[in-house]
């Protein structure tokens, strides 16, 4: 249980860090080698829609079943038709999955666009070894706290010298407080059995 708590805390912490970072998040489920498309490939190969239904909301199940049946029919027309049909099904499945998350669909992405943190998490699951991931995430979170703390303490010494210095202190203070606040919010959400909403965009 202790190790599980460490893993949960680290995962939620890095989710909070990613959520607060001012950059566009890359959705893991949008990638061609992500879990959604991987399950779609397996489903088409087996002729069984079952593996992909977990990725959509119950209200969308009928649409996916219909798209799957149409894809299987078109695939019979030959290699070129199969490739086009598969791509259409991947796009349809990912779009509906993303819509169910309340997230926009911007097209399928190559696998190399996966966030490094998500790739590391998938690697841990693939190998069954989590210690390296825990160590890496814990180190990044610790560095994030320390660097912001040091910036606050350094600017605080000169905060009252002039307005410019005061504003530099306030900016550092706000960044530090929001960073720690975000970590605590992520951990609190995890203790109640739910990850923060921002972390759900794979």
- Check pLDDT > 60 for residue 6: no
- CA nearest neighbour of 106 among 201, 178, 183: 201
What residues pair up with 101 in beta bridges, in sequence order? Answer: none
- Check pLDDT > 50 for residue 196: no
**Degrees, nearest 5: CA angle 57-11-14:** 105
Question: How would residue 7 be classed by pLDDT, with cut points 50, 70 and 90?
Answer: very low
What pLDDT, in 10s, does the model give residues 158-185?
988 999 988 999 899 999 999 999 888 8
pLDDT for residue 57: 93
d(CA 58, CA 20): 31
What pLDDT, in 10s, does the model give residues 53-103?
999 999 999 999 999 999 999 999 999 999 999 999 999 999 999 999 888
Q: Compute how many other C-beta atoms are within 10 angstroms of the C-beta atom of residue 130.
A: 18
Range 154-175 burial, b when 16+ CB lie within 10 A, else e? ebbeebeeeeeeeebbeebbee
Coil, strand or helix at 31 = strand
pLDDT for residue 157: 92
DSSP symbol at 115: -
pLDDT for residue 199: 40
pLDDT for residue 130: 87
d(CA 120, CA 133): 7
d(CA 107, CA 30): 7
Helices (H), 24-162: 35-46, 50-53, 61-75, 79-101, 116-127, 131-156
pLDDT for residue 195: 44
Is the model more confident about 187 or about 118?
Answer: 187
């Amino acid at each position: 249980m202790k190790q599980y708590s460490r893993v949960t805390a680290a995962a939620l912490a890095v989710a909070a860090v990613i959520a607060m970072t001012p950059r566009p998040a890359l959705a893991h489920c949008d990638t061609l080698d992500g879990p959604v498309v991987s399950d779609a490939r397996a489903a088409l190969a087996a002729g069984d829609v079952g593996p992909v239904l977990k990725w959509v909301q119950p209200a969308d199940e009928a649409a996916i079943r219909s798209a799957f049946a149409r894809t299987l029919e078109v695939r019979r027309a030959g290699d070129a038709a199969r490739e086009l049909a598969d791509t259409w099904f991947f796009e349809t499945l990912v779009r509906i999955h993303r819509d169910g998350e309340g997230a926009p669909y911007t097209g399928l992405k190559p696998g190399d666009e996966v966030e490094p943190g998500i790739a590391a998490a998938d690697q841990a699951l693939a190998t069954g070894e989590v210690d390296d991931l825990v160590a890496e995430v814990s180190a990044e979170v610790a560095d994030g706290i320390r660097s912001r703390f040091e910036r606050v303490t350094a600017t605080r010494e000169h905060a009252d010298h002039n307005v410019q210095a005061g504003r530099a202190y306030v900016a550092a203070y706000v960044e530090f407080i929001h960073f720690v606040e975000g970590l605590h919010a992520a951990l609190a959400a995890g203790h109640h059995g739910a990850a923060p909403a921002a972390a759900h965009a794979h």
